[in-house]
Structure 1
Amino acid sequence: MGCKQTKVTPLKQTSPEEALAGKINCPHELYYAKSQLTPRLSGDEILQQLREEGLVPVHQTRGGVAFSVPATECVGSRGKPPRRLEQIPVRCFYTAERRRQKADTFRFNKLVDQVQWKQLDRELKHKAVKDEKKRRLFLKKMMAEHQLQMREEKLKRLDEERAAKKKEEKMSSKK
């Protein structure tokens, strides 16, 4: 019945030489490289290109005109890559400063976790003390009620015994 092992192929990361030559192995590295290497055009250059393609009129009209420009598939995102892609480690590309930043972040997160655990422990201990105090008070109350009940029963028995003795005395005095 054993466990079936799956073969895991290691992620082949791009070496610095391959990256300089333009060879990129992983899709996330390709995305990151595209977002970093493409120069951003200024607003005037973009407007000029749109005018040349005939998508924007050369002279601005009074009311303004809305244009719908279909996006082509080859155009990638020119902004920052998503955080999950930024955090993917790529060998040999971390600077010493980035490694220090990551270590500091890790230490800070660890410290925050320790503080949170200590706070949680304090809260649990406080709750346990309160619960124990409630339990003791409840037991005290129950014992007091029990003693009161026992006294009342004893008084009833004494009253009954006295009543019985008085009856006997009355009966004996009548004879």
Structure 2
Amino acid sequence: MRADADGDQRLSQAEFVGRRVARLTAADANRDGSVTADERRAVAEVRRAGRADARFDRLDADDDGVISKAEFEARREHRAGVRAERGPRAGHRGAHRHAARAGRMAERGPIVIVEAEARATAAFSRLDADRDGFVTAAERHAARADRREHRRERMAGRRAARQAQQASPPAPASE
């Protein structure tokens, strides 16, 4: 709900589409109406650097520009307590997903901002289940559940096809 500019806990089409277009427009360094892979990488690098700076600032509790051993140990203890409260976590899959996404993005070529705006408008229409012109958290969650179910069905079909292929005996050689 970061795109919820007016804080009403729902997204209008203008908020939904506008946020996406604004992010692409900001990434379009040469203002040619499309975002190339190099422009995407540059934006990602700036975002990574910002997160690294924020991590440093969290560790540097006394704002002296240096992380002391005491500050480091305090953060480690804090994180251990948070993990203990949260319980066991599923395996981290982010790095693999990032590499796969980067490969797909390089193959696709530049993102044309006008086309992305049209896709965002269509996505908003799909998400707005009650057609009231707003997407609520409940509608987003329902759409996410539908996508998961669709993905599970697709994967089950692929798995069944693979198993059928492996189970079928090879055709006899003709004489």
The verdict on a shared fold, with TM-score over 0.5 as the criterion, is no
Largest Rg, 1 or 2: 1
Q: TM-score, normalising length from structure 1? A: 0.25
Report 1 or 2 for greater relative contact order, CA contacts < 8 Å, sequence distance ≥ 6: 2
